[in-house]
Amino acid sequence: MKKRGFFITGTDTAVGKTITTAAIARFLHNRGISTGVMKPVTSGSVLRGGKPVSEDAELLKWASSCTARDADIAPYLLKAPLAPSVAASLEGVEILFENIAQAYKRLETAHDFMLVEGAGGLLAPLTEKLSIADLVLSLQLPLIIVTRPNLGTVNHTLLTSFCAKKMGIEVSGIIMNQYPDSAGPVEKYAAGMISKLSGDPVLGILPHLEGYNDTDMVEKLALVLRGEPLANILLKEFNIE
């Protein structure tokens, strides 16, 4: 049976995976679709009340109104803002895909749709031998690649798409984030060139927003998504006009 959900990766860190994933979750929530969210591994968790917390997972939980256990939404919380495999090694933590899969199954069973956000890029190492790409394969979810609009994005996005397909991962499409109000030649041609060369559809172009906190930004981007191709795909999945 085809899984209802997406795994969200990025061409690199800081391209806006969390904000984009949260915006998709908020869009689904606003249409009454029960959505489970997951950030399997967080590097750079913060201490709150003496306990590690994933701020990314908190935003996803708010955006989706997911009421699942925090331990299922964010199974691995690592302190150091490093590659997950390094951060885990420093803390003596072993990242086990079996634990992530069990948490995912509990979330999937309780929700109509799933959104899973990766850490870093597709080949970010989770263990000495396994990467984010291996996790995508283990969860059997189609991939959305979040990318940026500026110089260098064509190369980075094509590499990510090519790598995913070589590993047997289904790429559903690309979302370009932080698109500027005054686009130059690079930004104007990037999305079309990426789509043409990769064969992957552009599912959305999200604007660059300044002066908003994360929740306000997610609300605004969820509204933007209503006019993007991804919205049609999601609503068609649930037979919503």
Give me the amino acid identity at 196.
K
- Residues noted as catalytic: 39
Q: Round to whole Å and give the CA distance between 109 and 163.
A: 30
Instruction: Answer for the pair 87, 120: CB distance below 8 angstroms, yes or no.
Output: no
Residues in the chain: 241
Tokens of 176: 């370009």
Cβ neighbours of 192 (radius 10 Å): 10
Return all residues near 50 (Cβ < 8 A) that are at least 6 apart: none
The β-bridge partners of 7 are: 116, 143
Among residues 218, 227, 221, the alpha carbon closest in space to that of 206 is found at: 221
Query: Which DSSP symbol is given to 122?
Result: T
Give me the amino acid identity at 94.
E
